[in-house]
A and B are shown apart, each in its own frame.
Chain A
Amino acid sequence: MSHSHSLDVTYLARLARIRLTPEETELFEQQLDRVLEHVNLVNELDLSAVEPMAHAISVFDVVREDEPQESLPKTAILKNAPHQANGLFVVPKVLD
């Protein structure tokens, strides 16, 4: 939408599946531009020899014994669904 900002909030909101009002879009563009300016500090370091870190303490291949266990009953899960029928989540029609 706006070319004076480094973030295209309209596009990002569509990716994130959030419908924003024009006022929100405008405000977020201004606010996030300032945040990005600060965040850009990470670009001043030479990181060519540094490994990235995804977790503080990396644990790999966590598997348990493959034993059948009870899970929560379906009714307990569906209780929180905004719309459900016949033991299923109901969604708008996807295919014609």
Chain B
Amino acid sequence: MNPFLSIAESRRLLVAKKISPQELLQELEQRITQVNPQVKAYLSWDSEKASQEAASADLSKPLGGIPIGIKDAIVVKDAPAHSSSRILEGYLSPYDATVVSALRNAGAYPLGRLNMDEFAMGSSTESSAFHPTYNPWDLSRIPGGSSGGSAAAVAAGMAMATLGSDTGGSIRQPAALCGCVGMKPTYGRVSRYGLIAFASSLDQIGPLTHTVEDSALILNAIAGFDPHDSTSLKLPSEDFTAEIGRDLKGLRVGVPKEYFVDGIEPEVRTSVEAAMKQLSSLGAELIDISLPHTKYAVSVYYIIVTAEASSNLARFDGIRYAHRTKTEGDLLSLYEKTRAEGFGAEVKRRIILGTYVLTSGYYDAYYLRAQKVRTLIRRDFDEAFKKVDVIVSPTSPEVAFSCGSKTADPLKMYLADIFTIAANLAGICGLSLPCGFSEKHGTSLPIGLQLLGPSFAEKTLFRVAHAYEQSTQWHQKHPHR
């Protein structure tokens, strides 16, 4: 069987009884057994549980019989959930995240725990406390992050689809670097209940898939109001596939000059510019726009994200969850040693910085100012979306970089998210899909095209992305392993 089957194709085979859900799972597990030892996308998977779920699959439901890989930050009942951190080693979730219940309601079932940067803090999956994940296109390179396991599993044919979470690009950037489709929904579209919190005002769960259509199918299942998440929104239910297949005539595509600056790899620029031409030949109109506060996005992000993280991660204190230091001592030293042992370097660094920007005396200079600049970034998008329907840019300024090349320099790692961060700050939706390959490094490395839409315009993003995808062959190319 072709390990790169889409959900839509698999569903056709399942419904026509050409394959059973158990066979589909077996094929997938065979592939995982064969490929995961090199790529290391999965931390674990429960074969027995999965085969029970496959056996009882209800094929009449929209995702009936489809197994979905889950990022280690999203909890599944009775399964481990570490957020790839030692501090949660041994933790078994007593409940399903709302997105997991939603997938079950749609007939799908969770398969396996996918590696990530520890607490989603990183852009390479190298900060996982367990092991790095490797890019299936070139094992000496990173898969991106923080949802690196989720992207690598799809790219390597070890999952049809996975869930990731995106706080500053953590779905879109690994999707770009691994050559799959990654979607960050509008903030509030998908419940965060059961997502181990990193930065609550920015975090959003979304799908990673082979195709744009599959992405819309997953969003159909997971979107919706949830009384357990007070930031989830009460919106009328939508079919996110509704505009798939519609042509691009009359569509206005914004090209922000601030996103086409120095520092983009020439192959990335060439591919993205070719993709823009392609959109134009499909009937879209390209319009130059400006997002003047773009250069502040990384600064604003690292103030807000660390502030929120330092607060969210205060709950890991050695009392309620999983890890507690073995050394004797009073309560204060129990906290201090538990956290020293349980957190990795990047998590400690961000908690320290977050503590600093929230400290009285610096709060106004950093946190409050960052929140104000966030308003300006949001306004930039509001203005732009008066003139255009979607915005196009590279997802990442470069292709997958070599393992270890940025770990010593946090700032360099932070700048890897330069094109994806603003969407989280503004709360709008974004999607990355393959738009070419760089052959410069002696191997094919995927390049991602980012499409940004105003809040609640996911349907438009899927329309544009699908039209582009179907007019190119990029999504049919897979790594040789």
Interface residues of B (CB under 8 A from A): 90-92, 94-95, 186-188, 201-202, 227, 230-231, 233, 295-296, 298-300, 302-303, 310, 314, 317-324, 329-337, 339-340, 343, 345, 348-349, 351-353, 355-356, 359, 365-366, 368-376, 378, 409-411, 414, 424-428, 455
Contact A39 B366, beta carbon cutoff 8 Å? yes
Interface CB pairs A-B, < 8 A, 25: A15-B355, A16-B310, A17-B317, A18-B348, A18-B351, A28-B352, A31-B409, A32-B349, A38-B299, A42-B370, A45-B369, A45-B373, A50-B376, A52-B368, A53-B375, A55-B231, A55-B427, A64-B227, A79-B94, A80-B94, A80-B322, A82-B321, A82-B323, A91-B334, A93-B330
Point out the residues of chain B lying under 8 angstroms from A16, CB to CB: 310, 339, 351-352, 355
Instruction: Decide: A18 near B343, CB < 8 A? Known: A43-B365, A54-B201.
Output: yes
Contact A57 B187, beta carbon cutoff 8 Å? yes
A91 to B333, CA, bound (A): 12
Tell me if A72 is interfacial: C-beta within 8 Å of chain B: yes
Nearest chain B CB to A55 CB, angstrom units:
5
Q: How many residues on chain A are close to B (CB under 8 Å)?
A: 49
Nearest A residue to B229 via CB reads A62
Nearest chain B CB to A8 CB, angstrom units:
9
Instruction: Decide: A35 near B411, CB < 8 A? Known: A54-B371, A72-B94, A94-B331.
Output: yes
Contact B94 A76, beta carbon cutoff 8 Å? yes
| Max chain A Cβ within 10 angstroms of own Cβ: one of B92, B296, B300, B355 | B355
| Max chain B Cβ within 10 angstroms of own Cβ: one of A20, A45, A56, A93 | A56
Nearest chain B CB to A11 CB, angstrom units:
9
| Max chain B Cβ within 10 angstroms of own Cβ: one of A28, A38, A39 | A39
Contact B349 A28, beta carbon cutoff 8 Å? yes
| Max chain B Cβ within 10 angstroms of own Cβ: one of A16, A20, A62, A81 | A16
A28, A51, A72, A89: the one within 8 Å of B319 (CB): A89
The majority secondary structure among interface residues of chain A is loop
Contact B371 A81, beta carbon cutoff 8 Å? no
A28 to B334, CA, bound (A): 22
Point out the residues of chain A lying under 8 angstroms from B332, CB to CB: 17
Tell me if A19 is interfacial: C-beta within 8 Å of chain B: yes
Contact A91 B331, beta carbon cutoff 8 Å? yes
B94, B187, B427: the one within 8 Å of A77 (CB): B94
A72, A81, A89: the one within 8 Å of B95 (CB): A72
Contact A42 B349, beta carbon cutoff 8 Å? no
Contact B188 A42, beta carbon cutoff 8 Å? no
Contact B187 A12, beta carbon cutoff 8 Å? no
Contact A15 B410, beta carbon cutoff 8 Å? no
Contact A56 B369, beta carbon cutoff 8 Å? no
Contact B91 A42, beta carbon cutoff 8 Å? no
Nearest A residue to B298 via CB reads A38
